Amino acid sequence: VVTGLELHPLLRRGIEVRSRHVGIERPQALLRLVPENPEALLALGNRHVVSALQFDRELVVQLCRLAAGIEIQPALLHMPLTGKILITAFYEPSTRTRLSFESAWHRLGGDILSITDPATTGMAKGESLADVAEMFSNYSDVVVLRDRDAASVYSMLETLRVPIINAGNGIDEHPTQALADLYAIFKWRPDLATDTPGQPIRVGIIGNPAKMRTVRSLLHLLSMFAAVIEEVVVINGDDDVFGEGQRDALAQRGLRLRVEPGLRNNLPALDVVYINSIAWIGDTFERLTQAHRLTADSPFKPGAIVLHPLARGDELDVSLDDTAHNWYFSQARGATFVRMALLTSMVERVHRVADVRPPS
Amino acid sequence: VVTGLELHPLLRRGIEVRSRHVGIERPQALLRLVPENPEALLALGNRHVVSALQFDRELVVQLCRLAAGIEIQPALLHMPLTGKILITAFYEPSTRTRLSFESAWHRLGGDILSITDPATTGMAKGESLADVAEMFSNYSDVVVLRDRDAASVYSMLETLRVPIINAGNGIDEHPTQALADLYAIFKWRPDLATDTPGQPIRVGIIGNPAKMRTVRSLLHLLSMFAAVIEEVVVINGDDDVFGEGQRDALAQRGLRLRVEPGLRNNLPALDVVYINSIAWIGDTFERLTQAHRLTADSPFKPGAIVLHPLARGDELDVSLDDTAHNWYFSQARGATFVRMALLTSMVERVHRVADVRPPS
Amino acid sequence: VVTGLELHPLLRRGIEVRSRHVGIERPQALLRLVPENPEALLALGNRHVVSALQFDRELVVQLCRLAAGIEIQPALLHMPLTGKILITAFYEPSTRTRLSFESAWHRLGGDILSITDPATTGMAKGESLADVAEMFSNYSDVVVLRDRDAASVYSMLETLRVPIINAGNGIDEHPTQALADLYAIFKWRPDLATDTPGQPIRVGIIGNPAKMRTVRSLLHLLSMFAAVIEEVVVINGDDDVFGEGQRDALAQRGLRLRVEPGLRNNLPALDVVYINSIAWIGDTFERLTQAHRLTADSPFKPGAIVLHPLARGDELDVSLDDTAHNWYFSQARGATFVRMALLTSMVERVHRVADVRPPS
């Protein structure tokens, strides 16, 4: 490849915006179909965001609507967070989530203090999380935390005087990822976010609701939209894939759940296929559901979309990238916009962006 | 704690600004009592800040006054350091100090290049400190350095063409921490910063002046205010807690010093109690003065304040947090403002902020 | 050195801008002699910069001219990259190059997401480079990559939708360093960048063209200026210092090359002496050409200049720092300005800075 003699073919042409990114043009439909209701976003003002349970249907819809407005016309934003400071404290390896948050914050005009390695911090000297939170409150306007221990974010709540976002706490939750998942679904089917939805959808989740924080938070959000979800099918060969009481709580909120061992026989009936193979356990991760793998040849329902919340492994074949089922790129791209909408709301700057409307 | 079933109680309410942060409202008194004298700050223009010995009484007072102005009305600052670049080079673990400096610089409008791990730098390839300093001069407007080796900052002085701040050099000094300590004291007793001070104070230092850089720098500053300090009592069970010539030099500048082994019998006479248990020795740290521990039940003099310069360990019990003795939170919070005042002065932007006055 | 008793002598005086930085005043001559041709820079708009082979003579000259304009009057820049985001992904230790790029980007008004440790990223979970590139495209406007593997940057090209800059890929190339080298040469001899050059120069390269990426990229650029280079003398004791086909390709573009084992006997004939001793091989580096060392007593041709692209080791003695041969400090300083010129061109903001002219 590297000869030093002549120019590599890939350098002879310009950069292409690749057409396989289905869905990038869709936020406009979402913006048109959903009426603006900025009041719903005021509930986030100066509040922590730790669990997807904190949201409600209208809040999720309005966050996605604001995200759509930003995605369509990012240049309309006049840096609503200028002079504000974000601390991103990632005590567990991450690129995707950290960069997405940091990109979102910078695009809103703010500055960032990053912590990517706990060994470089005072916690190495034995500082308590309550004291770290006290300190973070002095230095920042919002904190984003990822930690292997599910309890860490809760330990900080007691002393924090600025809002915190849970960007993944052990196996517990990852609420902003679930927002990004919903945003992708609403770009695909904006009617689902309205009062006059069309055909209900069937959602397949290849993963483990007990052990995967992304799945746990997504199920919380889906339960708020139970009316437009015919069924959630969890594809998993294990008998017991729910945490204690988890299934009952979801059912109580109206979500219809079924667990199925096989992928191929269920795939043709699914509108949304969500796949994830990584579960974090303590200091390391397991690859679960390795038996299940999606490729361009898998028996998808026509028009079905595939979502994947994380860095992919073998479970999601690159042959799917150039198909119309690929909405995971749109989902990853949209994560930044939905986080911009969330951060703007938390720092109480909605009034500076709420007039974002589709071009008339 | 984490059930995935229902919302955690801490998430059901908004974020509280907690009343235990005594002293946050005090900077206004300091601003009122001390006349503005921005000329004193011009001495810092384009100068290094390595040792607390570089300051004098009036400079310390005016830095604290400017810090108070910023603490009261941070929104009055119009980003005086826009377009300026800070390098924070922390070759020893730190959160508190790095984040405080970075937060200060960002709040002034500037941008930052961070080095948190020496293994990621050219020094791993054997680059000399003089060459690193030469390079830093090309890329930044100010450098903040923390290094385990006391001599490193001095090695850089020869070739640096931009100002450097010593943010802790081995066991030697940490001058900006000492400024934060004084700022807390002046918020508590603004009269001490004036020409008509009230009752002199007795300061207790639980620590080791020979081995703790924070203590060393603080003693330098206290010696400039010997007229309002009745006595400094060093609480330490060891015989020899001063470095060679240290005690004589301080006494020569008028500071009255006494060393006492016991805490409880001396505590009732102290107005300011400064406690620190960490001393850095080479690549690691020792916990000293473990025998001494402050709690809500310790026999404090009424009205006494407690200061602690670092991440706390067992020596400072959380039971003190909700008492009126807790000025260590105010001290930590004020560190950012005093660094903002210092940085503004060093980059010669005092004229952009010197009209900060108490609201009339 | 550190007594804690009195002020260190180095702290008693202000910061000196040292006169040994020959060449800092030279960009004005370059600006005067070379006519402005911003159209040449448009070719870089929205293009990757991976190999020095992508440049041509006029592009290199115009980049250096723009760099000179910035170096003379940096305050004229009105933050052309405000709101733009740079990702610096350094998967191999670096200070100099990372800080230079980050300083350049910040001085242009942009924000930065830094990755300094691959262990903190999703690649630790096995994410492919193509997927990382897909993700980077969502979060940034330009990517700067350093990687030990020469192929990594090419793996990213397929999926990137934003421009990438190769900041060193294994032993292959480091094109922006070569630009900085040329910029230093043109500040020293601006006529070489014009259509009416004076005396051709003899360039000595103490290093290994097969194994050193800085040398490889520099030779590519020098071959575009073969008309003003009498000869390139590679000083190396080994027989085979070129990669396969490398020497032929350079000769074909008109560059006259000679390999010589001895330094002292060749030095008196060299106008430009370029020295580098570090070659990266896999995860570590070798120090090559240790036999060769430049000092103030080396038999330089009068007026000869010395360049060194990296953190220096023993091969470049500090005794040279205060001589007129020292252009390596000017070279290091200029690297930031030439990168500012390059980044401005890649992000298509040339129109915002193209009116930079020497003061009339």
Closest Cβ–Cβ partner in C50, C130, C245 for A3: C245
pLDDT at B181 exceeding the cut of 70:
yes
Burial string for A248-276 (b: 16+ CB within 10 Å, else e) reads ebbeeeebebebeeebeebbeebbbbbbb
Smallest CA–CA distance from B333 into chain A, residue = A138
A326-330, B60-64, B280-284, C155-159: least confidently modelled range: B280-284
B100 touches chain A (CB under 8 A): yes
Q: Chains A, C: CB contacts under 8 A, how many?
A: 127
Which of these ranges, A69-78, A90-99, C41-50, C305-314, has the smallest mean pLDDT?
A69-78
Residues A194, A199, A205, A210, CA torsion sign: positive
Residue-wise pLDDT tens digits, A191-247: 999 999 999 999 999 999 999 999 999 999 999 999 999 999 999 988 789 999 999
Q: What is the pLDDT of residue A354?
A: 55
As a whole number of angstroms, the distance between CA B268 and CA B275 comes to 15
The dihedral through the CA atoms of B275, B281, B287, B292 has a sign that is negative
User: For residue A123, what pLDDT is reported?
Assistant: 57
Task: Please list, in sequence order, all residues whose beta carbon lies within 8 angstroms of the beta carbon of residue A186, skipping any fewer than 6 positions away.
Answer: A30, A61, A64, A68, A192, A193
> How does pLDDT run across B41-67, given as a tens digit for each residue?
998 988 999 999 999 999 999 999 999
The CA distance from C146 to C140, in Å, is 16
Lowest mean pLDDT among A340-354, B195-209, C125-139: A340-354
Q: How far apart are CA B349 and CA B210, in angstroms?
A: 36
Q: Do C138 and A285 touch (CB under 8 A)?
A: no
Whole-number pLDDT of residue A352:
67
First-last CA distance in chain C: 50
Cα angle, residue C274 at apex, residues C288 and C215 outer, rounded to 5°: 65
Tally Cβ neighbours within 10 Å of residue C16: 9
Residues of C (201-230) whose Cβ lies below 8 Å from A: 216, 220
Contact call for A117 and B117, based on CB within 8 A: yes
Helix (H) or strand (E) holding C146: strand C142-147
Region A152-166 average pLDDT = 92
Binning pLDDT at 50, 70 and 90, where does residue C250 land?
very high
Q: Which of A106, A278, A312, A314 to mutate to test the interface with C (most CBs of C within 10 A)?
A: A106
Whether C62 and C38 have beta carbons less than 8 Å apart is answered as yes
Mutation for B interface: C81, C98, C106, most B CBs within 10 A: C106
DSSP per position, B184-220: HHHHH-GGGGSSS--S-EEEEEES-TTT-HHHHHHHH
Of all residues in chain C, the one with the smallest CA distance to B140 is C103
pLDDT beyond 60 at B360: no
B5 → closest Cβ in A47, A125, A246? A246
Neighbours of chain C (3+ CB pairs under 8 A): A, B
Contacts of B117 in chain C (CB under 8 A): 116-117
- Distance, in Å, from the CA atom of C155 to the CA atom of C7, rounded to the nearest integer, reads 55
CA distance A65 to A81: 19
Q: pLDDT tens for residues A299-328?
A: 999 999 999 998 888 899 999 999 999 999
Q: Cα separation of B344 and B82, whole Å?
A: 11
In terms of DSSP H, where are the helices of chain C?
A: 27-33, 39-42, 57-72, 96-107, 129-139, 152-157, 175-188, 213-223, 246-252, 328-346
First-to-last C-alpha distance (Å) of chain A = 50
Mark yes or no for CB contact A172/B333 under 8 Å: no
Contact assessment for residue C304 and residue C273, using Cβ atoms and an 8 Å cutoff? yes
pLDDT of B2 higher than 80: no
| Helix segments in chain B, DSSP class H | 27-33, 39-42, 57-72, 96-107, 129-139, 152-157, 175-188, 213-223, 246-252, 328-346, 350-353
Contact A335, A177 (CB under 8 A): yes
* C292, C315 contact by CB (below 8 A): yes
In the predicted model, what is the mean pLDDT of residues B13-24? 56
Beta bridge partners of C287: C278
Residue of A nearest to C142 (CA): A15
Q: Which of B123, B125, B130 sits opposite C285 (nearest CB)?
A: B125
Q: Which residues of C touch A20 (CB under 8 A)?
A: none
Q: Using an 8 Å Cβ cutoff, are A145 and A132 in contact?
A: no
- State residue C127's pLDDT score: 83
Cβ contact, residue pair C10, B245, below 8 Å: no
Alpha helices in C207-245 (DSSP H): 213-223
Distance CA B266, CA C356 (A): 69
C317 or B349, which is more confident? C317
CB-nearest partner of C96 from B51, B54, B135: B135
A285-317: burial string, b at 16+ Cβ within 10 Å, e else: beebbeebbbeeebebbeebbbbbbbbbbebbe
pLDDT of C360 above 50: no
Is a pLDDT exceeding 70 seen at residue B304?
A: yes
Residue the block writes with tokens 């403002």: B337
Q: How many CB atoms lie within 10 A of CB A95?
A: 26
Stretch among B295-304, C12-21, C158-167 having the lowest mean pLDDT: C12-21
Residue B132: list chain C partners with CB under 8 A. 95
On whether any CB of chain B is under 8 Å from the CB of C310, the answer is yes
State mean pLDDT over C127-149.
Answer: 93
**Burial per residue of A184-207, b for 16 or more beta-carbon CB atoms within 10 angstroms, e otherwise:** bbbbbbbbbbbeeeeebbbbbbbb
pLDDT the model gives residue A2 = 47
User: From the CB of residue B350, how many other CB atoms can be counted at a distance below 10 Å?
Assistant: 21
B249 and C5 in contact by Cβ < 8 A? yes
How confident is the model over C77-100, as pLDDT tens digits? Answer: 778 899 999 999 998 878 889 999
Work out the mean pLDDT of chain B and round it to a whole number: 88
Per-residue model confidence as pLDDT tens digits over A30-44: 999 999 998 999 989
- pLDDT of C179 reads 98
Q: ∠ CA(B158), CA(C179), CA(A5), 5° rounding?
A: 135
DSSP letter string, B325-345: TB-HHHHHHHHHHHHHHHHHH
C113 touches chain A (CB under 8 A): yes
Look at C139 and A14 and tell me if their CB atoms are within 8 Å: no
Contact B119 C333 (CB under 8 A): no
Rounded to the nearest 10°, the torsion over CA A263, A269, A270, A271 is: 160
CB contact under 8 A, A127 and B312: yes
**pLDDT of the residue at B57:** 97
DSSP string across A200-261: -EEEEEES-TTT-HHHHHHHHHHHTTGGGEEEEEEE-SSS--S-TTHHHHHHHTT--EEEES
Q: Are A30 and A186 in contact (CB under 8 A)?
A: yes
How far does the CA of residue C243 sit from the closest CA of chain A (Å)?
Answer: 8
**Are the beta carbons of B95 and A111 separated by less than 8 Å?**
no
Contact A146, A91 (CB under 8 A): yes
Confidence of residue A120 (pLDDT cuts 50, 70, 90): low
A15: closest CA of chain C, how far (Å): 6
Decide: helix, strand or coil at residue B113: strand
Contact B122 C313 (CB under 8 A): no
Directed axis angle between helix C328-346 and helix C96-107, to 10°?
50
Chain C residues within an 8 Å CB radius of A94: 120-122
Query: What is the mean pLDDT of the segment spanning B201-222?
Result: 95
pLDDT at position C19: 42
Q: What is the mean pLDDT of residues A326-346?
A: 95
**For residue B176, which of B105, B112, B80 has the smallest C-alpha distance?**
B105
Dig out the tokens for B69 from the structure: 């102005």
How close does chain C come to B31, measured CA to CA in Å?
A: 30
Closest residue by Cα to residue B310 from B98, B14, B132, B153: B98
Question: Cα–Cα distance between B127 and B120 in angstroms, integer?
Answer: 12
Asked whether the predicted pLDDT for residue C153 surpasses 60, the reply is yes
pTM of this prediction? 0.93
Mean pLDDT of C329-336: 93
Nearest residue of chain C to residue B212 (CA atoms): C4
Q: Does B27 touch chain C (CB under 8 A)?
A: no
Are the CB atoms for A327 and A23 separated by under 8 Å? yes
Count other C-beta atoms under 10 Å from residue A149's C-beta: 17
> Nearest-CA residue of chain B relative to C330?
B138
B218-252: pLDDT as tens digits: 999 999 999 999 999 999 988 789 999 999 999 99
The pLDDT confidence band at residue A7, using thresholds 50, 70 and 90, is confident
- A112 vs B102: CA distance, rounded Å: 9
Gap between the Cα atoms of B240 and B252, Å rounded = 19
**Mean pLDDT across the stretch A166-173?**
94
Query: For C188-246, what is each residue's pLDDT tens digit?
Result: 999 999 999 999 999 999 999 999 999 999 999 999 999 999 999 999 988 789 999 99
- What is residue B357's predicted lDDT score, i.e. its pLDDT? 45
CA separation for the pair C232, C204 (Å, rounded)? 6
